């Protein structure tokens, strides 16, 4: 099987134990993760050969991040070394009515100072069938945006399937104004065959709004049909896109979410059952686990978009029970949930 390549930044995550606030803790738990590396870990769990491309500082922390990926079965041969430091983010985990908080500390990281021409994309894309990036990467710096565009252009020339998770992050887009950001994201997304993004991503990046829906008030009762207009507008704006996918998260509280998904192929709209995710363990990486499941499903269940979407939603539902950024579940566990077994009984 040909490999999947993902490109982005892996960081050190520092979080107070349990549900402690920053002001309460004297210690931090260390986890390594990032949008595209999380997707890579999911795919490796499912048996898909996957290579993660990034730029890491040549120090002990950079090596720890690399070893974490290697431990999870991700190929790290195309990682390049350089830069002053590894990016860090601090996470305060919310509960019930108190939301989670994230503080970034990633300026001058290896990925923030990457430049076009540093990665040998011809070498990276040997025996590659799929390339994935997210909107987090071009948000880091102009250099990261340029390197991402270079990768998309070369992947397009080689006929490689390209996917993105638009992942708007208001705290990251600091180096340019909104019109420049929209130009960057429009050019990058124009290369993509598969586009994942929620209603906020479409609104913030491209000014696309769901018709007749206030995205800030919809809560748990939102219907999949409400997002058909977003999908149609995305397909019209990006003619190369074959599928536009949206996750449907209803936030009842920080501990209780609903979760479902929608896929539109330009003609037909597919949706899924709605999961009730109560007593969330860790929602960070939920979208990444969805993307990893979707890529696996589209590769494995060719021609069955409904099954691919069902797999993605079930995989990301399970991710909410896993501590850390990356999903740590098997194909068998996902398929069990897809089949309706959510009992959580002990396997003996």
Question: Residue 216 pLDDT > 70, yes or no?
Answer: no
pLDDT of amino acid 341: 80
Fold of the domain built from segment(s) 3-337 = 3.40.1190
Handedness of CA 235, 298, 290, 278 (dihedral sign): positive
Please count the other Cβ atoms lying within 10 Å of the Cβ belonging to residue 241.
24
Rounded mean pLDDT, 60-86: 97
What are the residue ranges spanned by the domains of the chain?
3-337
Three-class secondary structure of residue 55 per DSSP: strand
- State the pLDDT at residue 226: 75
Residue 210 has pLDDT above 90, yes or no: no
* 211 pLDDT more than 80: no
Q: 75 to each of 11, 36, 42, 54, 60, how far by Cα in Å?
A: 17, 13, 13, 12, 19
Positions of E strands within the chain: 3-7, 11-15, 29-33, 50-53, 55-56, 80-81, 88-92, 101-105, 128-134, 161-165, 194-196, 243-251, 256-264, 269-271, 275-278
**Numbers of helices and strands, H then E, in the chain:** 11, 15
Burial (CB < 10 A; 0-12, 13-18, 19+), residue 176, is middle
| pLDDT tens for each residue of 110-167 | 999 999 999 999 999 999 999 999 999 999 999 999 999 999 999 999 999 999 999 9
Average pLDDT, the chain: 94
Whether the Cβ atoms of residue 205 and residue 180 lie closer than 8 Å to each other: no
**pTM above threshold 0.85:** yes
Helices (H), 220-285: 228-237
> Half-sphere exposure (CA, 13 Å, Cβ side) for 122?
1
Residue 342 pLDDT = 75
DSSP labels, 337-348: HHTT--------
Cα(98)–Cα(119) distance, integer angstroms = 42
Residue 219 has pLDDT above 60, yes or no: no
């Amino acid at each position: 099987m040909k490999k999947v390549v993902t490109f982005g930044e892996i960081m050190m995550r520092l979080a107070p134990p349990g549900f402690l606030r920053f002001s309460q803790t004297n210690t931090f738990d260390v986890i390594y993760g990032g949008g595209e590396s999380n997707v890579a870990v999911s795919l490796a769990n499912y048996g898909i050969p996957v290579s993660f491309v990034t730029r890491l500082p040549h120090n002990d922390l950079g090596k720890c991040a690399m070893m974490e990926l290697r431990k999870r079965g991700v190929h790290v041969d195309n990682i390049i070394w350089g830069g002053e430091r590894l990016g860090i983010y601090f996470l305060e985990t919310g509960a019930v009515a108190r939301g989670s908080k994230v503080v970034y500390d990633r300026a001058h990281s290896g990925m923030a100072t990457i430049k076009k021409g540093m990665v040998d994309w011809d070498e990276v894309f040997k025996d590659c069938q799929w390339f994935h990036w997210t909107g987090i990467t071009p948000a880091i710096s102009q250099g990261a945006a340029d390197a991402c565009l270079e990768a998309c252009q070369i992947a397009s020339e080689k006929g490689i399937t390209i996917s993105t998770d638009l992942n708007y992050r208001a705290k990251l887009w600091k180096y340019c104004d909104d019109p420049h950001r929209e130009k960057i994201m429009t050019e990058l997304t124009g290369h993509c065959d598969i586009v994942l993004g929620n209603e906020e991503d479409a609104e913030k990046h491209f000014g696309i709004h769901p018709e007749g829906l206030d995205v800030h008030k919809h809560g748990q009762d939102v219907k999949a049909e409400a997002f058909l207009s977003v999908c149609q507008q995305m397909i019209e704006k990006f003619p190369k896109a074959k599928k536009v996918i949206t996750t449907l998260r209803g936030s009842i509280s920080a501990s209780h979410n609903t979760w479902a998904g929608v896929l539109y192929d330009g003609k037909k709209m597919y949706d899924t059952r709605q999961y009730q995710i109560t007593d969330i363990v860790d929602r960070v990486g939920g979208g990444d686990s969805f993307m990893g499941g979707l890529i696996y499903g589209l590769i494995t269940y060719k021609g069955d978009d409904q099954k691919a979407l069902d797999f993605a939603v079930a995989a990301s539902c399970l991710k909410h029970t896993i501590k850390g950024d990356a999903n740590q579940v098997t194909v068998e566990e996902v398929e069990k949930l897809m089949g309706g077994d959510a009992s959580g009984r002990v396997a003996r």
